[in-house]
């Protein structure tokens, strides 16, 4: 029999009792279709990650797993948030499959994009980003905030794929290197580009949630954006240093002006010295803060213990695609 890659679909679930019974059969159907199309192995699985749900979600996952061996589930001891749930699933899957696809369980991400994702993998991509082509079903507000979010991230030096959330194919080869990124504050969509390897994008229309409610109100979105920036970039610290330099320069100009005014006799006693002290001290303080910040930033990056380099291929080894008999 010809070798086919084993696919594990990884699905984070938090309080999803309303939507899980609707979408679980859709994921299984997709697995079957991909298998019939000869793209993936019959050993492929659907892995649910229960993220400390308070409703019947875990009970439903257990029932699914009992009924069909292609459904599997793991449960986190408590709610740790979407990013950690996806990570837990990917780390569970990485040594049991060749490729993973992470997807939300609410039916918003179009499962039909998986065909193109697997095709892109077979054509050589190790990471395939699912990118939303349209956001017509989102409200104006959600679309505006989400798109501003990507622009802000880019401006702050965090490399992310525009309009890509966490619907993504990642090979186990990449996951094994990704496991060396041991940081606790994770922002997956910004971290996979750091790992490298050939990647591509697949476009899909984002639909509305099939049932239940979103767990991402504005407050959580802002928290995610803030976490994304501070986890991936120390650029905000450089901004302080830059601001310090600008304020110092401005302070110098104002101080010179104050001295000139004093010489011309346009001022009352004490004004010039006060202005000079305020301007110079303000500048010195901001610059000092910026310099300390640079060291704090470097310490922060060092504390992540990220791999310094990753070798993807060697001339004396065959490229790693272990599902193909070499």
Choose between 218 and 281: whose C-beta lies nearer to ligand UDP: 218
In whole angstroms, how far apart are CA 58 and each of 13, 68, 116, 316?
Answer: 9, 15, 31, 47
Q: How far is the CB of 318 from ligand UDP (least distance, A)?
A: 37
Q: Is 291 exposed, middle or buried (0-12, 13-18, 19+ CB in 10 A)?
A: middle
DSSP notation for 246-286: HHHHHHHHHHHHHHHHHHTT-S-TTHHHHHHHHHHHHHHHH
Tell the smallest beta-carbon distance from residue 81 to ligand UDP (Å).
Answer: 5
Cβ closer to Mg ion: 98 or 166?
A: 166
Residues that bind ligand UDP (CB under 6 A): 12-14, 16, 51, 79, 81-82, 85, 104-106, 108, 214-216
- Other beta carbons within 10 Å of 90: 23
Selection from ligand UDP, Mg ion, none that 126 binds (CB < 5 to 8 A by kind) is none
d(CA 16, CA 54): 10
Q: Which is nearer to ligand UDP, 61 or 85 (CB)?
A: 85
Q: Given the DSSP bridges, would you call strands 45-50 and 71-75 parallel, antiparallel or unpaired?
A: parallel
User: Please, which residue, 135 or 321, has the CB nearer to Mg ion?
Assistant: 135
Stretch that binds Mg ion, among 30-38, 94-102, 106-114, 163-171 (CB under 5 A): 106-114
Instruction: Let me know: does 80 contact 52? Beta carbons within 8 Å.
Output: yes
* Of the residues 106, 109, 110, 126, which one makes contact with Mg ion according to CB under 5 A: 106
Sign of torsion over alpha carbons 99, 102, 105, 111: negative
- Among the residues of 108-170, which ranges form H helices? 113-122, 140-155
Q: Are 5 and 82 in contact (CB under 8 A)?
A: no
Cβ proximity to ligand UDP: between 79 and 230 the closer is 79
Count of residues of this chain found to bind Mg ion when the rule CB under 5 A is applied: 3
What minimum distance in Å lies between the beta carbon of 302 and ligand UDP? 30
**Residue 290 binds: one of Mg ion, ligand UDP, none (C-beta under 5 to 8 A by kind):** none
- Distance CA(194)–CA(120), nearest Å, equals 20
The distance of closest approach from Cβ of residue 225 to ligand UDP in the complex, given in angstroms and rounded to an integer, is 12
Binding mask 85-104 for Mg ion (x = CB under 5 A): -------------------x
Structure token pair of residue 228? 């994304």
Given 108, 163, 172, 201, the residue binding Mg ion (CB under 5 A): 108
Contact criterion met (CB below 8 Å) for 72 and 63? no
Determine contact, residues 119/39, Cβ cutoff 8 Å: yes
CA-closest candidate to residue 170, choices 233, 99, 269:
99
The yes or no reply on residue 110 touching Mg ion (CB under 5 A) is no
**Residue 209: which residues within 8 A CB-CB, separation 6 or more?**
19, 106, 107, 108
Q: Which does 51 bind (CB under 5 to 8 A by kind): Mg ion, ligand UDP, none?
A: ligand UDP
In terms of CB distance, is 50 or 201 closer to ligand UDP?
A: 50
Nearer CB in complex with ligand UDP: 87/279: 87
Judged by beta carbon, residue 48 or residue 197, the one nearer ligand UDP is: 48
4 binds, among Mg ion, ligand UDP, none (CB under 5 to 8 A by kind): none
Q: Which does 216 bind (CB under 5 to 8 A by kind): ligand UDP, Mg ion, none?
A: ligand UDP
Residue position matching structure tokens 């699914």: 64
Q: Which partner, ligand UDP, Mg ion, none, binds residue 79 by CB below 5 to 8 Å per kind?
A: ligand UDP
Nearest approach, Cβ of residue 87 and ligand UDP (Å): 11
Residues that bind Mg ion (CB under 5 A): 104, 106, 108
């Amino acid at each position: 029999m010809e070798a086919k890659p084993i696919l594990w679909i990884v699905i984070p679930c938090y309080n999803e009792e309303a939507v899980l019974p609707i979408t679980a059969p859709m994921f299984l159907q997709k697995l079957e279709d991909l298998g019939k199309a000869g793209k993936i192995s019959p050993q492929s699985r659907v892995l649910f990650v229960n993220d400390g749900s308070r409703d019947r979600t875990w009970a439903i996952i257990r029932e699914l797993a009992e009924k069909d061996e292609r459904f599997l589930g793991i449960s986190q001891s408590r709610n740790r948030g979407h990013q950690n749930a996806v990570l837990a699933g990917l780390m569970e899957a990485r040594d049991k499959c060749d490729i993973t696809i992470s997807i939300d369980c609410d039916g918003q991400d179009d499962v039909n994009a998986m065909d193109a994702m697997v095709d892109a993998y077979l054509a050589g991509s190790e990471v395939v980003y699912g990118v939303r082509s349209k956001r017509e079903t989102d409200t104006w507000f959600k679309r505006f905030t989400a798109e501003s979010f990507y622009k802000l991230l880019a401006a702050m030096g965090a490399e992310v794929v525009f309009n890509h959330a966490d619907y993504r194919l990642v090979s186990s080869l990449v996951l094994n290197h990704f496991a060396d990124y041991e940081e606790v504050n994770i922002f997956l969509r910004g971290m996979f580009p750091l790992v490298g390897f050939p990647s591509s994008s697949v476009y899909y229309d984002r639909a509305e949630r099939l049932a239940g409610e979103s767990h991402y109100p504005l407050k959580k979105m802002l928290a995610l954006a803030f976490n994304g920036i501070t986890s991936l970039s120390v650029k905000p610290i450089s901004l302080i240093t830059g601001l310090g330099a600008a304020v110092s320069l401005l302070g110098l100009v104002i101080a010179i002006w104050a001295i000139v005014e004093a010489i011309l006799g346009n001022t009352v006693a004490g004004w010039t010295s006060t202005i000079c002290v305020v301007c110079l001290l303000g500048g010195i303080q901001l610059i000092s803060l910026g310099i300390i910040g640079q060291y704090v930033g470097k310490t922060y990056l060092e504390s992540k213990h990220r791999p310094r380099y990753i070798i993807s291929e060697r001339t004396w080894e065959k490229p790693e695609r272990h599902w193909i008999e070499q």
